[in-house]
Amino acid sequence: MEKIGHRYVIQYFHLKGLSPTNIKAELDSTLEESAPSFTTVKYWMAEFKRGRTSCEDEHCSGRPSEVVIPEMMKKIHKMVLGDRRLKVRELADMVNISKNAVHRILAENLEAVRKVSAALAHNRTKAASGGC
């Protein structure tokens, strides 16, 4: 069972009026090794007592992951197609985002670049050998 499921079970037992100790005992008897810790049970009991109704994780603050947007992907894609010898650091400086973000875009979102370059290399070898 995933942690969200554990939270729903804890919420159910909270609504039934069980104490954290009893909830932990119930979870241990049912889930055995995969049961959440007593600290986790106490934390979620306190959250539900404060009036929380959602068992989902709240949105975390921090740096937004909006650098991986279609416009940025297109921009980097055009740059890579224009000059395949560009380094990740150079791309990052050109578009003013972190090297990690550029690397993530290249690795995860521009898989097509590899496929295109492989197809171009294959076509070049055919043309050089006189094939069709």
18-30 per-position pLDDT tens digit: 999 999 999 999 9
**From the CB of residue 13, how many other CB atoms can be counted at a distance below 10 Å?**
21
Q: How far apart are CA 74 and CA 88, in angstroms?
A: 15
Q: What is residue 128's three-state secondary structure?
A: helix
pLDDT band at 2 (very low <50, low <70, confident <90, very high): confident
Tokens of 82: 């224009």
pTM for this structure? Answer: 0.48
- Write down the pLDDT at residue 129: 62
Q: Residue holding tokens 């006189």?
A: 130
- Supply the CATH classification number for the domain 68-127: 1.10.10
Chain-centre distance for alpha carbon 10:
26
Residues for the chain: how many in total?
Answer: 132
